[in-house]
Amino acid sequence: MAQFSLSHLSHFTLLLAFLLITLLNHLSFIKPAVASPSTNETEQIQTICSKTLEPYECFDCLSADTSRDSNDFSELIHSLLYCMYSEANYAHVNADLLSQNVSDPSLKNALTHCSSLLFDAANHAVDAMISMESHKNLQAWNYSKTAGRSVFECVKVFLVESSNNLTIPSLVLGNMIHAKRLYDSMHVLFQLILR
The mean pLDDT of the chain is 85
Residue 154 CB partners (closer than 8 Å, separation 6+): 91, 95, 113, 114, 117, 118, 121, 168, 172, 176
Average pLDDT over residues 105-125: 95
- Cα separation, 87 vs 82, in Å, equals 9
Q: Which domains does the chain have, with CATH numbers?
A: 41-193 (1.20.140.40)
pLDDT top residue among 182 and 6? 182
Q: How many residues does the chain have?
A: 195
User: Residue 20 is which amino acid?
Assistant: L
CA distances from 142 to 26, 57, 112, 147, 148 (A): 52, 21, 25, 9, 10
- Asked if 161 and 114 count as a contact pair (C-beta separation under 8 A), the reply is no
- Cα separation, 145 vs 185, in Å, equals 12
**Digit-coded pLDDT (tens) for 33-62:** 444 556 788 898 999 999 999 999 999 999
CA distances from 14 to 8, 9, 35, 106, 163 (A): 10, 9, 35, 71, 77
Q: pLDDT class for 15, splitting at 50, 70, 90?
A: low
Q: Supply the angle between the helices 137-160 and 170-193 in degrees, to the nearest 10.
A: 150
Q: Supply the angle between the helices 73-100 and 105-133 in degrees, to the nearest 10.
A: 160
Report pLDDT for 34. Answer: 43
Q: pLDDT class for 193, splitting at 50, 70, 90?
A: confident
